[in-house]
């Protein structure tokens, strides 16, 4: 069987029907891109290998449960899984990477100094939890761009490529995400202040 001519969806269907070689080909086809993404975030080859393995364990479990329905967007879906596992890795280490500052209004920068006491730390954690709950209320397109920009640290060009839209559309979605997030914060009387 010529796997090289097959689309991802065909390989996935074959694997679900019992063809293990189809899965091997699918993994080999995308491993460089997925591993490079993980390594770029974690910057430790051994840990990146662990997260890469966990990514494919999760992918295989999803296939086996019959829960995969990404309609030809396997790579984007796999990168989302990898991204979520990278975030889990940082959470376990209690050090979520920060995004480099830029000239945009960055709602995720909560100023803290090195002398944070227990009370301030608890308040900051609660603010972050509340903020993440509000983020989930955004429309899916805005949520996706926001996550890719602020949590994956992708450029708008990369976001446009990954989501299949123009750079202007990606920028527009980010702008509306921030506007909507501010509105949600006002509706919920939420402040980013620690005092």
d(CA 60, CA 186): 42
Q: pLDDT, tens digit, for every residue of 146-177?
A: 888 877 888 888 888 888 999 889 899 988 98
Query: What's the token pair of residue 115?
Result: 């002398």
Cα–chain center distance at 126:
21
* Average pLDDT taken over every residue of the chain: 81
Q: pLDDT, tens digit, for every residue of 80-126?
A: 899 888 888 877 776 544 444 444 445 554 444 444 555 556 666 77
Q: pLDDT, tens digit, for every residue of 14-59?
A: 999 999 999 999 999 999 999 999 998 888 888 899 999 999 999 9
| Contact present, 70 and 77 (Cβ < 8 Å) | yes
Phi, psi for residue 138 in degrees, rounded to 5: -70, 155
């Amino acid at each position: 069987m010529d796997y090289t001519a097959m689309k991802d969806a065909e390989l996935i269907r074959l694997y679900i029907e019992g063809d293990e070689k189809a899965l091997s080909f699918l993994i080999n086809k995308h491993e460089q891109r997925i591993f490079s993404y993980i390594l770029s975030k974690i910057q430790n080859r051994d840990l990146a290998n662990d997260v890469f393995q966990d990514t494919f364990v999760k992918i295989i479990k999803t296939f086996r449960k019959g829960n995969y329905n990404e309609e030809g967007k396997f790579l984007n879906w796999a990168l989302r899984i990898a991204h979520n596992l990278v975030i889990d890795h940082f959470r376990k280490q209690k050090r979520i990477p920060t995004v480099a500052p830029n000239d945009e209004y960055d709602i995720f920068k909560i100023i803290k100094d090195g002398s944070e006491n227990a009370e301030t730390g608890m308040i900051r954690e609660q603010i972050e939890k509340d903020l993440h709950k509000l983020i989930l209320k955004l429309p899916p397109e805005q949520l996706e761009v926001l996550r890719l920009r602020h949590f994956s640290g992708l450029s708008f060009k990369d976001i446009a490529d990954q989501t299949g839209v123009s750079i202007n559309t990606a920028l527009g979605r980010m702008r509306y995400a921030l506007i909507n997030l501010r509105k949600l914060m006002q509706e919920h009387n939420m402040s980013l202040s620690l005092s």
